[in-house]
């Protein structure tokens, strides 16, 4: 007979609870769970009720000591804020935390907490409890200032004494790219500049530092006493930073003082403003020499420009001959031009645009044949007559693309703008003022298209409406070009001759590559509401299509 193996069943030892006598498994406390919970409360020291402060003006909660944070109901941010209000949580282990639903208008927030703590040797007790938070109303400092009509403590006033807005359009894009306006409470637009309002003085000082890094300027600071407490010796002031920009812009014609011209590497007094950054870059078209004029040097002996962008005249290029000297993207050339409106007289001019000008092109420049400027520097230049090559009849500035502009092709990109508040004088401006501002904006967009270096300094965004506008324009053009059945043959021949007379657009017309554009996240519809609306429209379209098929 084979032997039978005996495997006795294992039995767990049991003991009696030291308090109530219940049979339990052995543990270091020799007590059951109910007795341990009755004798030890691990939630001791953690408040079951607390108060959080809420600002009804801006919908923010107070995070002590003086930080106001934005948080939605039952959000992760609000839960973190509530847990920070509970003292004693650092002595226990937090296992879980969550909200218990309450009425939104009840001013009560309930949080369910699960914690663990070691009560005896190798004995860990877990407990669940609810903490109630009372939402108390309290105005933040910003809302208090709004109610007391003290909405700002410091203001930065930026002004430029010119007739156009192209400098501020460029400065606006720089501010948007670097997010330099994040601390502003309000931005007001005036006829000759912008005002930036701040709650704290150090925020205004940061804006002034940013402006000093990107534009040539000078600044004055003033302060106004608002209130004073003689008992505590404290006072409240409003600070004003007055910033004035240099009234010299890109493509302006400038005549320097002879002494200043000698300081700038002995350049010619009659120069063009090539670029404006934290310094003014001046280009001599006769020698291709570039001089940098710093802001302190300019304000020691300020001067104004002789001609601005509105004074540019279109010329037609008859011939262009390179002379040899080059400086980066500039090449010296002798160009024969005539006015596009009057081809009976031709001019010879030395220009820095030798690389891009060819016979048959159009170029913008200043006509100085009968110029008479109210400038002391210009009078000194005429009396001295020491300009290399003499005072030219024409100063060429930049290439023009009139044929491509006539096509009216829509741009596939757009720019963002600051949320500005216009003054009453700008709201009630006339038609001529609006037309001038629209022209300034169009010239600024053309500068962006033609200058790759300028595009690298700002952000360009894709325009979602550009494709639809281009398709509509193409359809309108095709409809306009389609021959009418009722027209006579003679009229068709005249139209064909007119089409032949139209010039083709320039081959080197600058176009912005799609890779340089950014996605406008604000224009994208990502929210659930927009998606539902699109689904409803798609469902309606499908239903209509099905009904049409059934009718057929």
Residues 484-538: tens digit of each pLDDT? 444 444 444 454 444 444 567 777 777 787 788 888 766 554 444 443 444 444 4
Q: Is the pLDDT of residue 365 over 90?
A: yes
What is the Cα–Cα distance from 215 to 211, expressed in whole angstroms? 6
Q: Do residues 369 and 389 lie in contact, with contact meaning Cβ atoms separated by under 8 Å?
A: no
**For residue range 394-443, what is the model confidence (pLDDT) as tens digits?**
999 999 888 877 776 778 888 888 888 877 666 666 788 788 888 888 88
Which is it for strands 234-245 and 154-159: parallel, antiparallel or unpaired? parallel
What is the Cα–Cα distance from 78 to 72, expressed in whole angstroms? 7
Nearest Cα neighbor of 138 from 56, 224, 202 is 56
Q: Do residues 308 and 164 lie in contact, with contact meaning Cβ atoms separated by under 8 Å?
A: yes
Can you tell me the mean pLDDT for 353-358? 90
CA 527 to chain centre: 23
Q: Is the peptide bond before 549 cis (omega within 30 degrees of 0)?
A: no
Which is it for strands 123-137 and 49-55: parallel, antiparallel or unpaired? parallel
Q: Give bridge partners of residue 329 from the DSSP assignment.
A: none
**Alpha helix locations (H) across 138-286?**
141-147, 166-178, 201-214, 258-263
Token pair, residue 81, equals: 């804020």
Report DSSP state, residue 46.
S
CB-count exposure of residue 167 (10 Å: 0-12, 13-18, 19+): buried
Please give the backbone phi and psi of residue 387, each rounded to the nearest 5 degrees, phi first.
-70, 135
Give 430's contacts (C-beta < 8 A, 6+ positions apart).
none
Q: Is the pLDDT of residue 466 over 90?
A: no
Query: Looking at residue 99, what is its pLDDT?
Result: 93
Q: Do residues 103 and 110 lie in contact, with contact meaning Cβ atoms separated by under 8 Å?
A: no
Share of the chain above pLDDT 90, in %: 27
What is the Cα–Cα distance from 57 to 138, expressed in whole angstroms? 9
**Alpha helix locations (H) across 128-193?**
141-147, 166-178
Residue with tokens 């003082």: 257
What is the Cα–Cα distance from 50 to 138, expressed in whole angstroms? 15
Q: Give bridge partners of residue 117 from the DSSP assignment.
A: 125
Q: Give bridge partners of residue 237 from the DSSP assignment.
A: 225
**For residue range 57-85, what is the model confidence (pLDDT) as tens digits?**
888 999 888 889 999 988 999 999 999 88
Can you tell me the mean pLDDT for 139-165? 81
What is the Cα–Cα distance from 142 to 455, expressed in whole angstroms? 37
What is the Cα–Cα distance from 141 to 151, expressed in whole angstroms? 10
Please give the backbone phi and psi of residue 440, each rounded to the nearest 5 degrees, phi first.
-60, -40
Q: Do residues 401 and 509 lie in contact, with contact meaning Cβ atoms separated by under 8 Å?
A: yes
* pTM beyond 0.85, yes or no: no
Report DSSP state, residue 518.
B
Query: Looking at residue 524, what is its pLDDT?
Result: 54
Residue, of 341 and 10, whose pLDDT is higher: 341
Report DSSP state, residue 106.
G
Q: Give bridge partners of residue 511 from the DSSP assignment.
A: none
Can you tell me the mean pLDDT for 152-166? 89
Kindly report the length of the chain. 552
What is the Cα–Cα distance from 433 to 437, expressed in whole angstroms? 6
Determine which helix (DSSP H) or strand (DSSP E) holds 432, and give its type and residue range.
Answer: helix 431-450
Can you tell me the mean pLDDT for 256-272? 89
CA-CA-CA-CA torsion sign (150, 155, 160, 165): negative
Query: Looking at residue 206, what is its pLDDT?
Result: 94
Q: How far is CA 286 from CA 257, 271, 311, 365, in A?
A: 18, 9, 21, 15
Q: Is the peptide bond before 65 cis (omega within 30 degrees of 0)?
A: yes
Find the farthest-apart pair of alpha carbons in the chain and give their distance in angstroms, rounded. Answer: 139
Q: Do residues 28 and 122 lie in contact, with contact meaning Cβ atoms separated by under 8 Å?
A: yes
Of 132-146, 436-450, 480-494, the range with the lowest mean pLDDT is 480-494
Helix, strand, coil fractions of the chain, as percent rounded to 5: 30, 30, 35
Residue with tokens 């027209």: 487
Token pair, residue 468, equals: 């639809």
């Amino acid at each position: 007979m084979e032997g039978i193996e005996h495997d006795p069943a294992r039995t767990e030892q049991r003991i009696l609870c030291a308090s109530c006598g219940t049979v339990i498994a052995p543990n270091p406390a020799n007590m059951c769970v109910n007795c341990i919970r009755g004798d030890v409360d691990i939630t001791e020291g953690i408040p079951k009720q607390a108060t959080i402060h809420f600002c009804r003006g801006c919908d923010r909660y107070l995070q002590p000591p003086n930080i106001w944070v934005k948080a939605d109901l039952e959000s992760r941010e609000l839960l973190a804020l509530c847990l920070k209000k509970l003292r004693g949580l650092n002595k226990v282990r937090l296992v879980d935390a969550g909200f218990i639903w309450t009425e939104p208008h009840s001013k009560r927030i309930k949080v369910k907490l699960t914690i663990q703590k070691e009560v005896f040797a190798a004995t860990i007790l877990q407990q669940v409890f609810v903490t109630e938070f009372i939402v108390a109303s309290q105005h933040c400092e910003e809302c208090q200032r709004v109610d007391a009509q003290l909405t700002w403590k410091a203001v930065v006033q930026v002004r430029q004494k010119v007739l156009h807005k192209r400098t501020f359009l460029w400065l606006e894009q720089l501010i948007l790219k670097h997010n330099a306006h994040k601390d502003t409470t309000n931005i007001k637009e005036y006829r000759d500049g912008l005002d930036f309002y701040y709650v704290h003085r150090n925020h205004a000082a940061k804006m002034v530092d940013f402006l000093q890094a990107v534009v040539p300027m000078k600044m004055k600071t003033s302060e106004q006493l608002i209130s004073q407490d003689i008992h505590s010796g404290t006072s409240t002031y409003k600070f004003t930073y007055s910033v004035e920009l240099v009234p010299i812009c890109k493509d302006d014609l400038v005549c320097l003082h002879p002494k200043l011209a000698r300081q700038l590497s002995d350049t010619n007094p009659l120069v063009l403003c090539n670029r404006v950054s934290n310094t003014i870059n001046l280009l001599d078209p006769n020698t291709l020499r570039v001089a940098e004029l710093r802001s302190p040097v300019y304000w020691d002996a300020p001067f104004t420009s002789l001609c601005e962008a509105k004074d540019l005249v279109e010329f037609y290029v008859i011939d262009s001959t390179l002379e040899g000297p080059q400086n980066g993207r500039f090449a010296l050339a002798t160009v024969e031009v005539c006015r596009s409106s009057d081809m009976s007289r031709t001019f010879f001019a030395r220009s820095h645009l030798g690389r891009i000008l060819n016979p048959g092109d159009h170029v913008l420049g200043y006509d100085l044949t009968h110029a008479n400027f109210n400038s002391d520097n210009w009078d000194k230049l005429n009396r001295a007559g020491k300009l290399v090559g003499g005072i030219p009849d024409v100063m060429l500035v930049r290439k023009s693309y009139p044929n491509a502009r006539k096509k009216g092709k829509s741009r596939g990109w757009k720019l963002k703008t600051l949320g500005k508040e216009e003054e009453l004088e700008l709201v009630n401006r006339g038609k001529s003022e609006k037309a001038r501002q629209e022209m300034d904006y169009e010239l600024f967009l053309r500068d962006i298209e033609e200058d790759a270096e300028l595009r690298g300094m700002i952000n360009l965004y894709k325009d979602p409406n550009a494709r639809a506008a281009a398709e509509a324009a193409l359809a309108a053009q095709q409809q306009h070009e389609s021959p009418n059945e009722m027209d006579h043959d003679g009229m068709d021949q005249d139209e064909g001759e007119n089409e032949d007379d139209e010039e083709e657009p320039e081959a080197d017309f600058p176009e912005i590559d799609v890779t340089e554009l950014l996605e406008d996240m604000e224009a994208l519809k990502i929210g659930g509401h927009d998606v539902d609306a699109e689904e409803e429209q798609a469902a309606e379209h499908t239903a209509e299509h099905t009904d049409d098929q059934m009718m057929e």
